[in-house]
Chain A
Amino acid sequence: MNFIPPKPLSIRLQSCAKTFADGVRVLEPLDLHINAGETLVLLGPSGCGKTTTLRLIAGLEQPDVGGKVLFDDEDVTPQSIEARNVGMVFQSYALFPNMTVAENIGYGLRIRRLPTAEQRSRISEMLSMMRIEKLADRHIDQLSGGQRQRVALARALAVRPRALLLDEPLTALDAQLRESLRVEINLLLRRLGITTIYVTHDQTEAMALGDRIIVMSHGRVEQTGTPREIYHQPASAFVANFIGTMNQMHGEMKNGGFACAAGLLRWPGKATAANELLFRPEDVSVVAEHEAADLVGTVAAAFFIGDRTRLFVDVGDKQPLVVESMARCTLQPGQQVRLQVDPRGLLAL
C-alpha cells in the first residue's frame, strides 16, 4: 500500500464551550489535548456533547467567545471546515446521490484541482485499500450499509487529511456488521497512523478502538484515560455505571474488611470510611461448599448466554449481584450460592 499520510497532527482545544442560539449550553468549557497519531474516542450517552466537540474540531461549529482550537499550535478557530483539511465520516455517510462511488471518492481531489491522472490513481488506491474496486461505477442507492461505510471512509481519506473525524460511523449498521467493521477500522487506523477522533455511545466500540477514551456527560468530561484505566479505575459513579456492569455493595469498614449483609469482603487497601464498594461481575466467582467464601446469597435468576452463565444473586442489598459464572453452571433460582470476590477488583469512590 502506498498511502503515505502526512505528518500526524496534534490537536488542542482551549476553553471551548458551546451555547446554541436557543440558549441551551451543550458544552461546558473544555480543555482537550489529542496527541499526534493517536485514536481518541469521545464516549457518552446522547446529548452529552461529544458530537458537538467533534464538530468544533472539524470547523462545522464555532466555540463560544474565548474558546480556541489549535492544530499543531496553529490557531485554526477562525477557519471554517473548508479550509481545515480534515477528513470527516458522518453517521449517515453523506454520500452524494448524484455521483458514482468513484466520483464521490474523487470529489475532494476535484475541489483541490489535482491533475486528472493523479486523481485517477488516488481513487484506485482508495478503492483497493477499502477493497471496493468492483463498486467503482455504482450509484449510492445500489450499495448496502457496509459498502457505503467503506466509500465514506475512502472519500475522507482520499484527500490525505491531517486528521480523521468519525461521527458514530457504525451506529446505523446491524450488530454483526458492526463487529466485523470495527476490527477492520481498527486495523486501518493502526496502519495509517493518522490522528483520529472517534465519537460513539457504544462502550465496546470505544474500548476496542481507542488509545484513549474521554467519557462525557451533560457537556462535561467525566474521565480521561486508557480503556483499561476507564474500566478498572472509574473516577465517578457515572463512569462506573456507564462502562460495563458494576456491582454495588453497602456496608461499613470493620477490622480490615468490609462488612455487609451477606458477609465480609476482604479489603487490602488503605483504611477508608467508604460505606459503598464497587466491583465487576467477572471479579466474583462461585466457590464450592468446602472453600472459603466472602458472601453467601440466593440465586434470583440465571441466564445462559452461551459462553457463560449470568447469575443474579440476592445478597440482602438494594440490588442483586451480577455474577459471571462458567457456561456449565447448573445453579437454579432459589438455590444458595457461595461467592468469593477478588479484592484487587474492589473500588471505593
Chain B
Amino acid sequence: MFMPNRKILFRLQLAFTLAVCAFLVVPVVLSILAGLTVNYFAGLSSGLTLRWVFAVWDGYRDTIFLSLGIALACLLITLLLGVPTAYVLARSRNRMSRLIEELLVLPIAMPGLATALALIATYGTLGGFRTSWAFILIGHVLFTLPFMVRSVLAVLSAIDLKTLEEGAASLGAGFRQRFFDIVLPNCRNGILAGSLMVVTLSMGEFNMTWLLHTPLTKTLPVGLADAYASLRLEIGSAYTLIFFLMIVPLLLAMQTISRPRTTRFISDDPDNTLDILPVPETKK
C-alpha cells in the first residue's frame, strides 16, 4: 500500500491549505479591485480610481454611522446583560444554569428570519418602536448576547472562581468589592474577546436586519444589498471595500487576543529563601 513519507505528506497538506486560502482570499482581492477600477467590465486596463469610494461615502455616510452606532449600543447592552449572566453561570453549575445556557443559544440556532418575523409579529404594531433603530438593536442583542456570555464564561470557568471569592471574603470583602476587585479583572480577556466578537457580528448582521429595517433605518449590510441590486457593480464593490476596511482590523484584533499568552515561570529561587535549616557539614 502506498505510504507517503512525512515530507510528502507535509507538502501535500501545505498545498491543500494554500489552495483553500486562495479560494477564500482571491474573491476578496477581486472585489477590492472592482471597487477601485474605473470600469469593471473593462477590467484593470481602464485604470484605478477612488471615485466610487467617494460616491459611496457621500450616499451612504448615514448608513455607515448608524451601523457603527448600533454596534456600539449592542456592545454596551451585551456587556450589561452578559457579564453578570456569565458570572452566575460560572458560579452555579447546576441543572438550572445548564438550562439557561441552552436557552441563551436558541437565538443563534434559530434562523435570523424566524427571529425577525417573531419580533415583527409581536411588536410590529407599535409604530414608533417599529420604525426606530432600537428595533434592529434588539435583534442584534439577541444574536450577539450568547457570544459575549460564552466568551466571559470560558475565561471564568478556567479559574477557581469560588475559592478566589472565598479568599477575598475571608479578608473582609463584600459582594460588590469582590465583583469589581476580583471577578471583573480576571475576565478582562473574555470581555475583550467578547466585545470584539459582538461589534463584528453586529456590523455584519444581515438576515435579521433585512426584515427589521425601514428605509430610514438602514445598516451597512442593508445598504450593501441595495447597492448591488440597484446600482453599478463598482459602487457595490466600493461599498464592500469600506466594509472590509472597517471589519478587518476588528477581526485581526480578535485573533491577536485569542492567541495564548506565554507566562514566564521563575521556578528557581536564586536567593534560597526556601532554605531555613542550616545544612550540616558533611564529613569529608
Contacts and interface: CB of A to CB of B under 8 A. Distances in A.
A159 interface: yes
Which of B160, B186, B263, B273 neighbours the largest number of chain A CB atoms within 10 Å of its CB?
B273
A254 interface: no
B167 A180 contact: no
B266 A142 contact: yes
Given A132-B273, A144-B269, A107 B181 contact: yes
A13 interface: no
Interface in B196-239: none
Interface string B234-272: 000000000000000000000000000001111101010
Given A81-B166, A142-B264, A156-B170, A94 B273 contact: no
Given A142-B263, A183-B277, A111 B171 contact: yes
A320 interface: no
Contacts of B174: 82
B273 A131 contact: yes
Interface in A187-210: none
Nearest to A181: B274
Interface in B148-182: 159-160, 163-164, 166-174, 177, 181-182
B172 A112 contact: yes
A84 to B, nearest CB: 8
B276 interface: yes
B128 interface: no
B186 A144 contact: no
Contacts, number: 86
B4 interface: no
A94 B172 contact: no
Nearest to A161: B170
A108 B266 contact: no
A86 interface: yes
B170 A96 contact: no
Interface in B72-94: none
Contacts of A81: 166, 169-170
A288 interface: no
A96 B167 contact: yes
B185 interface: yes
Contacts of A88: 166-167, 170
B154 to A, nearest CB: 16
A83 B173 CA distance: 9
A270 to B, nearest CB: 45
Query: What 6 A-B pairs are tightest by C-beta distance, nearest first?
Result: A94-B167, A108-B171, A98-B185, A88-B170, A111-B172, A141-B263
B172 A85 contact: yes
A134 B271 contact: yes
B258 to A, nearest CB: 19
A60 B168 CA distance: 12
B172 A82 contact: yes
A287 interface: no
Interface in A158-191: 159, 177, 180, 183-184
Given A98-B186, A108-B172, A180 B274 contact: yes
A147 interface: yes
Interface string A122-161: 0000000001101000100111101100100001100100
B130 to A, nearest CB: 44
A71 interface: no
Q: Which of A80, A87, A97 has the most CB of B within 10 A?
A: A97
Nearest to B264: A142
Given A81-B169, A81-B170, A184-B276, A94 B264 contact: no
A180 B276 contact: yes
Nearest to B178: A82
A177 B274 contact: yes
A82 B169 contact: yes
B188 to A, nearest CB: 8
Contacts of B182: 96, 98
Nearest to B263: A141
A138 B168 contact: no
A323 to B, nearest CB: 29
Contacts of A112: 172
B280 to A, nearest CB: 14
A92 B160 CA distance: 9
B173 A82 contact: yes
A111 B171 CA distance: 8
B266 A138 contact: yes
Contact of A97 (B159, B172, B265, B267): B159
Given A60-B166, A81-B166, A90-B167, 10 more contacts: A82-B174, A88-B166, A98-B182, A98-B185, A98-B186, A138-B266, A142-B265, A142-B266, A146-B274, A180-B274
A82 B169 CA distance: 5
Contact of B163 (A94, A108, A134): A94
A156 B174 CA distance: 17
Contacts of A60: 166, 169-170
B172 A180 contact: no
A341 interface: no
